[in-house]
Amino acid sequence: MIDYHVHIGKIFYGRKPLTLKKLIQTMDEKGIEKAIILPIENPEETHWYNTTDNILKLSKKYKDRLIPFCNVDPRRGLNNENEKFIKNLIEEYVKKGAKGFGEILANLPFNDRRMKNIYKICGEFCLSIVFHLGGIPGQSTIGLTDEIGLPYIEEVLNEFQNTIFVAHGPGWWAEISGDVTPEQREIYPKGKIEKEGKVQYLLSNYPNIYADLSAGSAYNALTRDHEYGIEFLNRFYNKLLFATDYLYPEQKLPIIEYIKNVKISDEKKRKIMSENAKKLLKLE
């Protein structure tokens, strides 16, 4: 199994940090062969940063187990088309071993000009982008924002067809239902999926968007309507990536048992658990 979404280190005030040792121990216990380590460079979600340089350095200790991504806050410097330093930074990170970009937690509209500059650069370097989608613009929320129906994401998928996006977060998963309300974009909505939402539409129609199954938000989306969750996996197994968002030692990770036990074919399960990730990371 490849976990597409993990954080390590001292990032939350009042919580014990997830150490490298504990991460590797948990991976061994759960049968997870490799994990993607996502640096935190945006100030919004966590209480401390964990910089790209640090992640690149730490992941060297377990080269065959940990896959580092890089991250740059889109608000650094001017970050416009003419400002080359973000491109130079990302290029340097790639040379040092970064295999993707994210997690983006910046509280900006998804189609913000500074974000678009990053999407373009990541496309040029073939880096998949893990992003956290929160509420609608103007709401008190963390992560990128979009209106109901995700028009900004669709605009970006059309504009940056060479860039691969990996969606995550409550704002994304609430849109699995066509009946989603602005308030539900911030929570884990319950109840049956009566009408399909923008998640299914975007995964069906755009080859450049995937979704990771990490955190309470994805687990809730798959289990709020158990039968529909299985149908969803059966339809979108080519676009889904097993992931946990493991970020503190005592965290419960129900997605691991869910994906191991869910009744779908072994072939589809393998795609979700590792093969889709290998394809995006060009591991084979």
Size of the site for Zn ion (CB under 5 A): 2
Binding mask 236-265 for Zn ion (x = CB under 5 A): ---------x--------------------
Residue 45 in contact with Zn ion, rule: CB under 5 A = no
242 neighbors 30 (Cβ within 8 angstroms): no
Least distance to Zn ion from the beta carbon of 109, Å? 20
Q: How far apart are CA 124 and CA 109, in angstroms?
A: 22
134 neighbors 170 (Cβ within 8 angstroms): yes
16 neighbors 24 (Cβ within 8 angstroms): no
- By beta-carbon proximity to Zn ion, the closer residue of 103 and 154 is 103
- By beta-carbon proximity to Zn ion, the closer residue of 18 and 153 is 18
- By beta-carbon proximity to Zn ion, the closer residue of 131 and 237 is 131
- By beta-carbon proximity to Zn ion, the closer residue of 236 and 248 is 248
Closest CA to 41 of 31, 55, 29, 27: 55
Least distance to Zn ion from the beta carbon of 245, Å? 4
- By beta-carbon proximity to Zn ion, the closer residue of 41 and 245 is 245
Residue 258's CB is within 10 A of a number of other CB atoms, namely: 17
Least distance to Zn ion from the beta carbon of 52, Å? 15
Binding mask 47-86 for Zn ion (x = CB under 5 A): ----------------------------------------
Segment (H or E) for 240: strand 240-241
Contacts of 63 (CB under 8 A, 6+ apart): none
Kindly list the distances between the CA atom of residue 124 and the CA atoms of 102, 162, 164, 283, in Å, as whole numbers in the listed order.
16, 8, 11, 19
91: phi then psi, degrees, rounded to nearest 5: -60, -40
Among 103, 112, 154, 212, binds Zn ion (CB under 5 A): 103
The 8 Å CB, 24+ separation contacts for 75-79 are 75/106, 75/108, 75/114, 79/114, 79/117, 79/118
Stretch that binds Zn ion, among 103-111, 116-124, 138-146, 267-275 (CB under 5 A): 103-111
Least distance to Zn ion from the beta carbon of 184, Å? 20
In angstroms, the first-to-last Cα distance of the chain is: 15
Least distance to Zn ion from the beta carbon of 7, Å? 6
Least distance to Zn ion from the beta carbon of 263, Å? 28
Please give the residue ranges that form the binding site for Zn ion (CB under 5 A): 103, 245
